[in-house]
Structure 1
Amino acid sequence: MNDLTDKVAIVTGASRGIGRAVSLLLAMQGAKVVSVARSTDELDELAHKTNGLAIPADVADEADVQNVVDEAIRHYGHVDILVCNAGVGSFNLLENNAADEWNRIFDVNVKGTFLFCKFLVPHFKAQKSGHIVGITSDVARRTFEHGTVYGASKFAQDALLGSLRKEVRPHGIKVSTIYPGLVDTYFNESKPGNPDSEKTHLKPADVAQAVRYVLEAPAHVVVDELMLHPLTQEW
């Protein structure tokens, strides 16, 4: 298994939910974590717990993303892992979605992944190693009512990661995609801890363990895609 000790990992959407769980778990495994989100208070608290670096940023802002990558490399000398976790969503009939909502969802879910990959792939190519983990959704592989905008963004993110996987594999770079089902987080204005979600939703820690699993796979093994569902969830 790959040892994560002293590996430098950038985690987006790190202040809550899945991103926070991933950051904490990677730090426990010895990684140096660069936590990225817009919420400065929660980021500072997380950086204290992970003994890592916290950088407030908008993942859809090119200058912000460039700064995160530059600062991580300046601080640690290199980056080994990128976890693209930041995501937003809303669920409405198509005609009830405003164009601004489309832009917001695609900016975070797709453009954010694109920008971080754009600025880190040259670094990974130069060092002939690196691992990108994209956390998408099971709706990247299916459609559902009221999911026109969110689902479209996840299909696009999945296509981006799948195409990138083929581009960078000859350079020794891995790209893994994780497709969680329902997760008990703050996503879409919900709050975690609802008793009704106990049997139907994954926990953020479940997704974090999946990230750990793909990152710790032996060097000669590539886990391209990993689907996660609670036993009770229909798919």
Structure 2
Amino acid sequence: MTDLTDKVAIVTGASRGIGKAIALLLAMQGAKVVAVARTAEELEELTLKTQGLAIPADVADEADAEFIVAETLSRFGRLDILVCNAGVGSFNLLENFEAAEWDRIFDVNVKGTFLLCKAMVPHLKAQGHGHIVGIASDVSKRTFEHGTVYGASKYAQDALLGSLRKEVRPYGVKVSTIYPGMVDTYFNESKPGSTEAEKTHLKPSDVAQAVRYVLEAPAHVVVDELMLHPLTQEW
């Protein structure tokens, strides 16, 4: 299994929920975690636990994305892992969406993934190794009522990561995509455990374990897709 000790991992959307669970687990496995989110206060609390680096930033801003990579290299001198976890969602009938809401969802879910990958990929290709993990959604593979905008963003993110996988594989860089079902977290302004239904959902720690699984897979193993099922909690 691949050893994560002293590997440098950037995790976006790390202040709470899935991102926080991923950051904590990678730190427990010995990685140096660069936690990225827009909320500085929650990031500071996290980095006290991980002894890593906190960078308050907007992943949809190109200057911020470039700063995240530059600051990581300045602090640790290397880059190994990028976990594109930051995501937002809203659900409604198509005709009830405002164009601004479309922009917000695509900015975080798609543009954010694009900008971080764009800033990081040249370094990974030059060093001949590295791993990008995208936290997509099971709606990357299906459609549902009220999911027009969010689903479209996740289909786009999935296509971006799938194409990137083929581009960087010859350079020794891996790209993995994880497709969680319903997760008991803060997504879409909900609170963990706030309803009986949410108590049957996946936990953020389940997704974190999936990330650990793909990161620790031997170099000769390619895991193209990892789907987490919300009811059975198996993958």
Give TM-score scaled by structure 1 length. Answer: 0.97
> What SS does the aligned partner of 1:83 have?
strand
Counterpart-to-counterpart distance in 2, 1:199 and 1:230: 11
**Alpha carbons 1:133, 1:177 under 8 Å: kept:** yes
1:95 aligns with 2:95: yes
**Alpha carbons 2:10, 2:81 under 8 Å: kept:** yes
**Alpha carbons 2:183, 2:230 under 8 Å: kept:** no
> What SS does the aligned partner of 1:101 have?
helix
Look up the equivalent residue of 1:7 and give its one-letter code. Answer: K
Provide the residue aligned with 1:216 in structure 2. Answer: 216
**Alpha carbons 2:192, 2:198 under 8 Å: kept:** no
Per-residue deviation at 1:195?
A: 5.1
Per-residue deviation at 1:223?
A: 1.1
Per-residue deviation at 1:146?
A: 0.1
Provide the residue aligned with 2:181 in structure 1. Answer: 181
Per-residue Cα deviation, 1:166-194 (whole angstroms, up to 9, x for no partner)? 00000000000000000000000100023
Per-residue Cα deviation, 1:196-222 (whole angstroms, up to 9, x for no partner)? 135531000000000000000011112
| Percentage identity across paired residues of the two chains | 80
Per-residue deviation at 1:232?
A: 5.4
Provide the residue aligned with 1:206 in structure 2. Answer: 206
1:14 aligns with 2:14: yes
Per-residue Cα deviation, 1:117-150 (whole angstroms, up to 9, x for no partner)? 0010000011000100000000000000000000
**Which piece of structure 1 moves more, 218-227 or 25-34?**
218-227
Gaps of at least 5 residues in structure 2 are none
Give TM-score scaled by structure 2 length. Answer: 0.97
Provide the residue aligned with 1:136 in structure 2. Answer: 136
1:125 aligns with 2:87: no
Using a 3 Å threshold, how does the CA distance of structure 1 residues 19 and 176 change in structure 2: closer, same or farther? Answer: same
Provide the residue aligned with 2:166 in structure 1. Answer: 166
**Alpha carbons 1:11, 1:85 under 8 Å: kept:** yes
Provide the residue aligned with 1:107 in structure 2. Answer: 107
**Which piece of structure 1 moves more, 188-197 or 134-143?**
188-197
Structure 1 runs (4+) greater than 6 angstroms displaced: none
Provide the residue aligned with 1:59 in structure 2. Answer: 59
Matching of residues 22-101 of structure 1 within 5 Å: 22-101=22-101
Counterpart-to-counterpart distance in 2, 1:132 and 1:41: 26
Per-residue deviation at 1:230?
A: 2.5
Using a 3 Å threshold, how does the CA distance of structure 1 residues 63 and 181 change in structure 2: closer, same or farther? Answer: same
Per-residue deviation at 1:72?
A: 0.2
**Which piece of structure 1 moves more, 79-88 or 185-194?**
185-194
Counterpart-to-counterpart distance in 1, 2:196 and 2:212: 28
Provide the residue aligned with 1:146 in structure 2. Answer: 146
**Which piece of structure 1 moves more, 182-191 or 196-205?**
196-205
> What SS does the aligned partner of 1:121 have?
helix
Gaps of at least 5 residues in structure 1 are none
